[in-house]
Structure 1
Amino acid sequence: MMKNNYKTTGMTLLVSALLSLVLTACQGNGTAGETAAADTSAKPNIILLYADDLGYGDISCNGATKIHTPNIDRLAAEGLRFTNGHAAAATCTPSRYAILTGEYAWRKKGTGILPGDASLIIPLDRATLPSMLKKAGYATAAVGKWHLGLGSQGEPDWNSEIRPGPNETGFDYAFFFPATADRVPTVFIENHKVVALDSADPITVSYKEKVGDEPTAREHPELLKMKYSHGHDGTIVNGIGRIGFMQGGQRARWADEEVEDVFTVKAQEFIEDHRTKPFFLYLAFTDIHVPRMPDTRFKGKSGLGYRGDAILQLDWAVGRIMKTLDQLGLAKNTIVLFTSDNGPVLDDGYQDGAVEMANGHKPAGEMSGGKYSILEGGTRVPFIVRWPAAIKPGVSDALVSQVDLLASFAAFTGQSLNSADAPDSYNVMDALTGKSKQGRSTLVEQGNGLALVEGNWKYIAPHKGPKIAKNVNIALGNDMQPQLYDLKSDLAEKNNQAAAQPDRVKEMAAKLEKIRSDGRSRK
């Protein structure tokens, strides 16, 4: 299928509609892909749907009552919904690092939230989730948000080939934007080149000082269609202030309203093009990260402000992927895993109505904390696995983490890992497929500090820092005294039992320190 550069929402919707017609026709004609998919003894396709900043309580199958997410709910109804599934960290870059490398990000310096011009942080001498699956015979693709750096030294040169990047970490095909939607440069990259780059209008990016003469949000707030609440006072793109400064690349810049559509279509194209052989698709949505500026179809539909509207758009995108699988006859033998990179946040830098229009909605459910936090709301996120050929629908309370995907799928596909690979990744495939009710025995959570979960107990190591995150109003869980919580009876982490159980505190503190000092937790 042709790989187009989409510049308008209207064009994207047209392409999406045409693609749907093609897929329907293929289904009716009994394609080779459908025939191959019917043989469930073949390797299953694997799709990882990775939401951004979506909280445990943001979807109706996890208890949300103020918003309805029918497509995500369908995934849960037809698969296994985990109540104790975790991102590896409470912020995006470290979670994405861990999910692809099988290593806790806190082990490696420079894995905090990256600027848009950072160098690649994924080691090229270790196995990654895509490189391992590629060796197992899978075609691999990354579509969506990247935010793991590009280039090997210094800032990437946006006007020439950009490498290393996703392709060098194991992805055969990559269509993505470099960091987050609120950071420059606001461009798509396909494999190694900026899409629609004009050599006569080169791109310059800086996170240190203003470049060029384009207006910034700080200097010209009257030009904004969405005001910023904190940060985001750099170059204005599409009427929205960004973090950082950018000059040039006018033809290559995307509009926020089109981004999720474009990523969804690109994902559909990859699925269709590879329907006759096993594939792995890493689809990292931009929703519901700020700036939340969904397509006009969704604006005002949720009653919860643009944040709620972005949840509806995310759910729609999940539905499009599911429909594509249905139409191509691939659904039965495709593993679809849906999760989020960290917990929720309402005001993350823009005045988009998320706080004022929350209307009683609880993004983290009954948990405390959220994005940035060591409390459960920071890493306990939506976690659903559907594989109709092998997984019986249900609910599991097994402790599982995104860091485990590499070891789990390596064992599942018969691939061996070197001793240096995936140091913190465990094979929990039996838990992911519902064959076992047991997942991990322990888990290290990362916020501003570290915590150890073992069974029902959670120990938070003493760590300095504010109690409440500035601007975003999220409880961070920082305290210079040790904290101990029984998550079975106190999921909101309100009753610190450290003083009453000093022996348990001492034991768990020692276990956490051993994991830290050993350099790996997988033996």
Structure 2
Amino acid sequence: MANGNRPNIVYILADDMGYGDISYLNEASKINTIHLDRMAREGMAFTDAHSSSAVCTPSRYSILTGRYNWRSALKQFVLFGYDAPLIEKERMTVASMLKEAGYRTACIGKWHLGLDWSRSGDNKEDVDFTRPVSGGPVEHGFDYFFGISASLDMAPYVYIENDRVTAVPDSFSQNPDPMQMWRHGPVAPDFKHEEVLQVLTQKVLDTLETNRDEPFFIYFPLTAPHTPILPSEPFQGKSGTNSYGDFVLMCDDVVGQINAKLEELGLSDNTIVIYTSDNGCSPRANYSELLQVGHNPSYIFRGTKADIYEGGHRIPLIIKWPAGIQAGSICGETVCLVDLMRTAAELIGYQLPDNTGEDSVSNLPLWRGEPLAAPLREAVVHHSIDGSFSIRQGRWKLELCPGSGGWSDPVPGQEPADSPPIQLYDLTQDIGERRNMWDQQPEVVERLRTLLISYIEDGRSTPGARQQNTGVDDWPQLARVRR
């Protein structure tokens, strides 16, 4: 594809938004997401899309590397604001690939993949904020970075531009009410939690203006609707649900602003705008309060963020590309956010080396509406916050744990004494994952377990030379897969 014809890419990643929070995807939604609904009508909506993990740091690793998160050194849980980088130094990312191909690349928003802070003491929180920060986006293929180190509820509360904080902290935060929860930590004078989403959005709009004359990739990981739940005044009470619903509408408005800016600049037709979420909705949204008004962020799926169940990792995915995607398309094919790497590579005609994008599958045929002789993906692997595995192939989903693997009942370690050690669900008949068929379909259990073991041991789930996983391959959750 000639450089002048290469599409721009804007990747908007919501933080903890459920599939059911978008009214286009949920006929019973009480939150009217007008901008996302318009984007779906003008593009393609996916009904069987998944993050690689049910929590945020691992999902972000997979999105940018095309490699399942559990192949990294992080085998469970997430990073915090002071933690070291997770992406391996020599690993190609979507950004570094596109940069090599002539794209201008920018990361604006929540990084949450670790940084190397300059230390002023032995404690990892003893940071010298006057010195450069390394190991971040600008060392992983991004020409420009403006954002925060981790989630908006994780210290330190500073903006980082490229490799420097924009202001040295001069105070410490206090912990407000539960819906506005954030952890104690240093705060810079130019940092106000309730203004962060607006500040980041304006940076994206400015970057669109700056890069209008050359192909660009903008990765925009939002800080919302994750806690602290802070809808600005124009959105307070607007959803008719609760403050979480209002915050979802604020995210929807961000999408509207970006698409309007692309139209203003004459870039809309050949810009791919992707909207998705890093995992399912968090219980911090107050499910009981939302259910009282008839809204379920998890839609018809079991579980929430952190879980191995569908509510943990089945996420909204909407893609608009007028020059390449037919308006009003619906795709029911099983896809995963790890697929961005190989999709982008095929889009620009880039040949990925064997040690890159080991679990990524190009979705370009789906975008183009091409008929498929067989599913694009042989299977997809899921991962919960405690490191529990699941593998999905067609109608069958095998979960290698006795409970949720996350925050929903039954939580790890508190499963009923008679709980089977594994779970098998036929999602065509039981999308709510309530009828465990592990003892009725032993051949399916064995087939899926064997396939998952081969994916783990081969260091990849796509064709190519065998690769090495990072870190040890004997963490406790892996024992459940192999026994």
Q: TM tier, shorter chain?
A: 0.7 to 0.9
SS of equivalent to 1:282? strand
Deviation at 1:466, TM superposition (A): 6.8
For 2:86, the equivalent position in structure 1 comes to 121
Cα displacement (A) at 1:390: 1.5
Task: Choose 488-497 or 278-287, whichever is displaced more.
Answer: 488-497
- Equivalence for 2:481: none
Report the equivalent of 2:104.
Answer: 139
**1:251: which partner in 2?**
189
In the alignment, what sits opposite 1:29?
none
The CA RMSD over aligned residues, in Å, is 2.3
The answer to whether the 8 A contact 1:51-1:340 is kept is yes
Kindly indicate whether the alpha-carbon contact (under 8 Å) linking 1:144 and 1:283 is maintained by their aligned counterparts in 2. yes
Q: Is the 8 A contact 1:44 1:278 kept in 2?
A: yes
Measured against aligned partners, the alpha-carbon deviations of 1:310-331 in whole angstroms (never above 9, x if no partner) come to 0010000000000001111111
Query: What are the equivalent positions in structure 2 for 1:372-383 lying under 5 Å apart?
Result: 372-383=306-317
Asked if 1:50 corresponds to 2:13, the answer is yes
Pairwise mapping of residues 384-423 of structure 1 onto structure 2 (< 5 A)? Answer: 384-393=318-327, 394-423=329-358
Q: Paired residue for 1:453? A: 392
Give 1:168's aligned residue.
139
Distance in 1 between residues matched to 2:389 and 2:296, nearest whole Å = 25
Alpha-carbon shift at residue 415 of structure 1 (Å): 1.4
Distance 2:173 2:49 in 1: 43
CA contact (8 A) 1:299 1:306 kept: yes
* Identical residues among aligned pairs (%): 38
Secondary structure of the structure 1 residue equivalent to 2:147: strand
Q: How far does the alpha carbon of each residue in 1:242-273 deviate from its partner, in whole angstroms, 9 at most, with x for none?
A: 33x424x5414x22221111111100111111
Q: Identify if the C-alpha distance between structure 1 residues 107 and 480 changes in structure 2 by more than 3 Å, giving closer, same or farther.
A: farther
Deviation at 1:462, TM superposition (A): 3.2
Equivalent in the alignment of 2:473:
none
1:279-358 matches, within 5 Å, as 279-347=216-284, 355-358=288-291
Distance in 1 separating the partners of 2:51 and 2:237: 30
Which deviations, in whole Å up to 9, do the C-alpha atoms of 1:368-425 show, x marking residues without a partner? 0110000111111001111101111210101111101101111221112221111111
Query: Any conservation in 1 of the 2:71–2:459 contact (CA below 8 Å)?
Result: yes
Q: Distance in 1 between matches of 2:300 and 2:131?
A: 48
Matched residues in 1 for 2:405 and 2:355: separation? 37
Change beyond 3 A, Cα 1:461–1:41: same
Please tell me whether residue 103 in structure 1 is matched to residue 67 in structure 2: yes
8 Å Cα contact 1:373-1:475 kept in structure 2? no
Q: 1:367 aligns with which of 301, 305, 311?
A: 301
The match for 1:278 is 215
What is the CA distance between 1:132 and its match in structure 2?
0.5
Q: Secondary structure of the residue that 2:108 maps to in structure 1?
A: strand
Q: Alpha-carbon deviation of 1:518?
A: 1.4
Consecutive unaligned residues of structure 2, counting only runs of 5 or more, are 464-483
Look up the SS of the partner of 1:356 in the other structure: helix
Superposition TM-score, scaled by structure 1 size:
0.80
What SS is found at the alignment partner of 2:24?
A: helix
The residue number in structure 2 matching 1:435 is 370
**8 Å Cα contact 2:173-2:185 kept in structure 1:** no
Give the deviation of 1:476 after TM superposition: 5.7
Q: Match for 1:228 among 178, 182, 204?
A: 178
2 CA distance for matches of 1:241 and 1:381? Answer: 24
Once the two structures are TM-superposed, the CA of residue 65 in structure 1 deviates from its matched residue by 2.6
Unaligned runs of 5+ in 1: 1-38, 204-213, 218-223, 230-239
Structure 2 CA distance, aligned partners of 1:256 and 1:184?
11
Distance 2:118 2:433 in 1: 43
Distance 2:33 2:265 in 1: 23
Separation of aligned partners in 1, 2:295 and 2:352: 43
Alpha-carbon deviations, 1:201-260, whole Å to 9, x = none?
Answer: 4x8xxxxxxxxxx5754xxxxxx3xx238xxxxxxxxxx6533x424x5414x2222111
Aligned length: 443
* Letter of the structure 1 residue corresponding to residue 254 of structure 2: A
Q: CA deviation at 1:86?
A: 0.8
- Give the residue type in structure 2 aligned to 1:321: I
Partners of 1:242 and 1:130 lie apart in 2 by 30
Alignment match, 1:483: 423
Q: How many angstroms apart in 2 are the aligned matches of 1:423 and 1:153?
A: 33
Q: Aligned pair 1:425/2:355, yes or no?
A: no
Offset, 1:306: 1.1
Distance 1:392 1:128 in 2: 28
